């Protein structure tokens, strides 16, 4: 989707794929610094960001025209909006979170995992006696994430988009490098394997 949108402005195939990945790469670095500087101060934030930039998987995957780097950026951006909403209780951060979650779902379906993450945050908040105001904000985040993901799933079903079986077939075909045909039974291994493969499923831009 990102490549398509860029191509509408810049009709160049190479740049259409390069610009979203590069922007996400730089954006991820900025967000890592923002998170670090709030807790560690400028000096350690710079050191932390430098270590993150030199982290091999991040360097490696950011060189491919795929959604991994873009997905990392959107995930960190959602966490940033969650942090701001919990801290300020300002509705604009909730709206921004919902909007980014919706957009990120179009990029990588793994963002549905934001729902269990916020559910876990809600449970931990009750367990460790988080302030009532923060609990309410966390509950609102949890609720809006469920709503956005539900709309995404229903819309995908209505429009006949790829489902979990397609994801499994794609994964078992070495992410599109092969073209084997699987039945529903053959494409679905043990539940744990299903979860892991779906969670780390990679879809091209």
Question: Residue 194: pLDDT above 80?
Answer: no
How much is the pLDDT for 203? Answer: 42
Residue 41: left (phi > 0), alpha (psi -120 to 50), or beta? left
Cα–Cα distance between 111 and 126 in angstroms, integer?
24
Q: Give Cβ neighbours of residue 160 (< 8 Å, ≥ 6 apart).
A: none
- What is the pLDDT averaged over residues 113-130? 89
15-to-20, 40, 65, 171, 204 alpha-carbon distances in Å: 9, 36, 10, 27, 16
How much is the pLDDT for 100? Answer: 94
Question: Residue 199: pLDDT above 70?
Answer: no
Cα–Cα distance between 192 and 5 in angstroms, integer?
36
7-to-3, 29, 87 alpha-carbon distances in Å: 6, 25, 38
Six-digit token string for 26: 């730089």
Bridge partners (DSSP) of residue 66 are 204
Question: Residue 188: pLDDT above 60?
Answer: no
Question: Residue 204: pLDDT above 50?
Answer: no
Cα–Cα distance between 191 and 170 in angstroms, integer?
17
Q: Which of 89-93, 126-130, 141-145 has the lowest mean pLDDT?
A: 126-130
Domain ranges for the chain, please list them. 1-66
């Amino acid at each position: 989707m990102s490549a398509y949108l860029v191509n509408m402005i810049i009709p160049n195939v190479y740049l259409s794929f390069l610009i979203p990945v590069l922007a996400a790469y730089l954006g991820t670095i900025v967000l890592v610094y923002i998170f670090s500087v709030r807790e560690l101060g400028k000096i350690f934030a710079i050191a932390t960001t430098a270590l993150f930039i030199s982290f091999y998987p991040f360097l490696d995957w950011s060189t491919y025209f795929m959604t991994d780097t873009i997905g990392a950026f959107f995930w960190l951006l959602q966490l940033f909006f969650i942090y701001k909403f919990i801290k300020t209780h300002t509705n604009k951060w909730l709206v921004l979170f919902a909007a980014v979650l919706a957009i990120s779902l179009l990029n990588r379906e793994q963002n549905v995992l934001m729902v269990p993450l916020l559910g876990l945050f809600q449970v931990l908040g009750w367990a460790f006696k988080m302030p009532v105001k923060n609990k309410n904000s966390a509950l609102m985040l949890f609720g809006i994430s469920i709503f956005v993901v539900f709309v995404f799933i229903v819309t995908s079903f209505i429009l006949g988009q790829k489902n979990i079986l397609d994801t499994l077939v794609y994964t078992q075909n070495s992410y599109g490098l092969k073209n084997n045909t699987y039945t529903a039974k053959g494409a679905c291994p043990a539940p744990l394997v299903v979860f892991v493969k779906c969670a780390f499923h990679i879809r091209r831009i």
